[in-house]
A = this chain, B = another copy of it.
Amino acid sequence: MTIETALEALRSLPGARLTKTRAARQAHGENETHFPPAPPHAVVFPETTGDVSEILKICNTHGCPVTAFGAGTSLEGHHLPVRGGISLDTSRMNRVLRINTEDMDATVQPGVTREDLNTRLRATGLFFPVDPGANATLGGMAATRASGTTAVRYGTMRENVLALEAVLADGRIVRTGTRARKSSAGYDLTRLLVGSEGTLAILTELTVRLQGQPEAISAATCRFPSVEDAVNTVITTIQSGLPMARIELVDEMMVRGFNLHQGSDLPEAPHLFLEFHGSEAGVAEQAESFGSLARDFGAAGFRWTTHSEDRSALWRMRHQAHLATRALNPSRRVLSTDVCVPISRLAEAVKTAQTDSRALGLTCTIVGHVGDGNFHCGVLIDPGDPDETSRADTFSDKLAKLALNLGGTVTGEHGIGLGKRKYMHAEHGDAVAIMRMLKSALDPSGILNPGKLLPDAD
């Protein structure tokens, strides 16, 4: 029962396509944030569900850890094989299996990225709405319950995955859910696997909801005297029932980063960036209604457009928040937080984050999916400066605890992975015991992504 005996057996399995090259191991042990590298012993490249099943049977027999790898864009180190074993790379499971235009759904293998899928959908009049910014795989997005700028309108992966095929730790293949839009038939295994971060099963097929491409899209921007004014505008807009497709807060430091990175000249004040989807008349009416609401809260510089170039430029800017944060000090790396709070407490949370980061002498940008109460602080850190790193950790820790005190969560969309395990007891209390029961029931040998999501046993 060792990893080495598992690797021997996998080498004889054609469907594993096992490689142990240094380059492959290194590439699968890297991450985009601040976690130390953790290369696997080997990498496998299955192409079919059957391949995954055979791989898991071998790994389960020999107690070899299995960590799924999609596009490697996780911000919480989900794909890092911290206990060694194999990295199960889904890049060859990249087929769009079926697009149902009448039912507005698609069935894909887990290695299909959201941009791949949307490219395939372009001629159908449909699109897949969940947009985390990065070109992640749909398997990875489902595993982390990802969302992004459009969740306020279209929901997260929780709402957009209809059905799954998955392989259990012992190699059994199961299907959960159906293509029907709703069901009351038994335990919701689909929602149990969405967000399970590869710790309960390996996803091998996903059926996702699609949306009709809107007839018209309008985008709007305006600035506010304070973050509170911006957030109060958001609350009022939501209560009014205006169907926003995106509503993003950008704080004054983030604006400075955009100006540096993009050469723009936005006034350094809190901004909202919005998008509306609907009919030509509808999106015009919605943008104007929003503008008049916003002016009641002191908004200035209100502009809206339906021109696609202007809209694209706006969202390109927004999606480059990470690079724009680095533009404030190119020698630093970025630590990204991810709290999500009830929207009535959002202004308080954002103001506290600004105050705390300044008090700790940190440079910090804030962007937020404020329609959901979710925002990210981008804290610049020099990994070689233990004092700065420690102050950044203090900041991140205070913010996580504040979010819990305000009735929120430590992670709105990035997931627990490695970095947030220490908050599981604080967020879930005794419910962590239930999660451990579920993990033990479904993965008794503990081979699936060990060291993630659940804290180490007490």
Q: A: which residues have CB within 8 A of B?
A: 100-105, 125-126, 144-147, 151, 155-156, 158-159, 168, 172-176, 178-189, 191-192, 194-196, 200, 211-212, 214-215, 235, 238-241, 243, 277-279, 281-282, 285, 289, 338, 340-344, 372-374, 403, 407-416, 420, 423-424, 427-435, 437-438, 440-442, 453-454
- Known pairs A185-B416, A187-B438, A214-B241. 13 more at Cβ < 8 A? A105-B342, A172-B430, A172-B433, A180-B373, A182-B412, A185-B410, A185-B415, A185-B420, A185-B423, A185-B424, A186-B454, A188-B192, A189-B434
**Copies in the assembly, this chain:** 2
| Shortest Cβ distance from residue A200 to the other chain B in the assembled complex, whole angstroms | 8
Tell me the nearest residue of chain B to A236, going by C-beta: B102
CA distance A435 to B453 in the complex (A): 22
- Residues of B with C-beta under 8 A to A184: 144-146, 195, 338, 409, 411-416
In the complex formed, the residue of B with least CB distance to A444 is B437
Q: How far is the CB of A243 from chain B (nearest CB, A)?
A: 7
Pairwise interchain contact B183-A411, C-beta atoms closer than 8 A: yes
Is B241 within 8 A of A429, CB to CB? no
* Of listed A195, A338, A372, A442, residue having the most chain B CB within 10 A: A195
Taking the closest CB of chain B, its distance from the CB of A63, in whole angstroms, is 20
Nearest-Cβ distance from residue A405 to partner chain B, whole angstroms: 11
Nearest B residue to A207, CB-CB: B407
Known interface pairs A100-B342, A438-B438; A178-B239 also in contact (CB < 8 Å): no
What's the least CB distance linking A413 to chain B, in Å? Answer: 5
A423 partner residues in chain B, CB cutoff 8 A: 185
CA of A453 to CA of B185 in the docked complex: distance in angstroms?
Answer: 8
A247 nearest CB across to chain B (Å): 12
The answer to whether A407 and B156 have CB atoms under 8 Å apart is no
Residue of B nearest to A344 (CB): B102
Q: Min CB distance, A74 to chain B, in Å? A: 11
**Docked-complex contact B180 and A342, CB < 8 angstroms:** yes
Tell me the minimal C-beta distance from A392 to chain B in angstroms: 21
- Chain B residues with CB under 8 Å of A437's CB are 441-442
Nearest CB on B from A401, distance (A): 14
A125 cross-chain contacts in B, Cβ below 8 A: 239
Contacts of A372 in B (CB 8 A): 180-182
Given A102-B235, A241-B277, A343-B102, are A374 and B182 also a contact pair (CB < 8 Å)? yes
Q: How far is the CB of A340 from chain B (nearest CB, A)?
A: 4
CB-nearest residue of chain B relative to A289?
B279
CB <8 Å contact, B343 and A103: yes
For A435, what are the chain B residues with a Cβ–Cβ distance below 8 Å?
186-187, 189
A340 touches B409 (CB 8 A): no
Known contacts A174-B434, A239-B104, A430-B173: does B409 contact A183 (CB below 8 Å)? yes
The CA-CA distance from A268 to B420 in the complex, in Å, is: 61
- How distant is the Cα of A437 from the Cα of B338 in the complex, in angstroms? 33
Set of chain B residues within 8 Å of A281, measured between Cβ atoms: 281, 285
Q: State A373–B452 Cα separation when bound (angstroms).
A: 38
Closest chain B CB from A296 CB (angstroms): 16
When the two chains form their complex, are residues A431 and B176 in contact, meaning their CB atoms are under 8 A apart?
yes
Q: Contact partner of A412 among B155, B183, B434, CB < 8 A?
A: B183
Min CB–CB distance A199 → chain B (angstroms): 9
Q: Is A174 a contact partner of B429 (Cβ separation < 8 A)? A: yes
Assembly CA distance A281 to B288 (angstroms): 13
Q: Bound complex: CA of A343 vs CA of B210, how far in Å?
A: 13
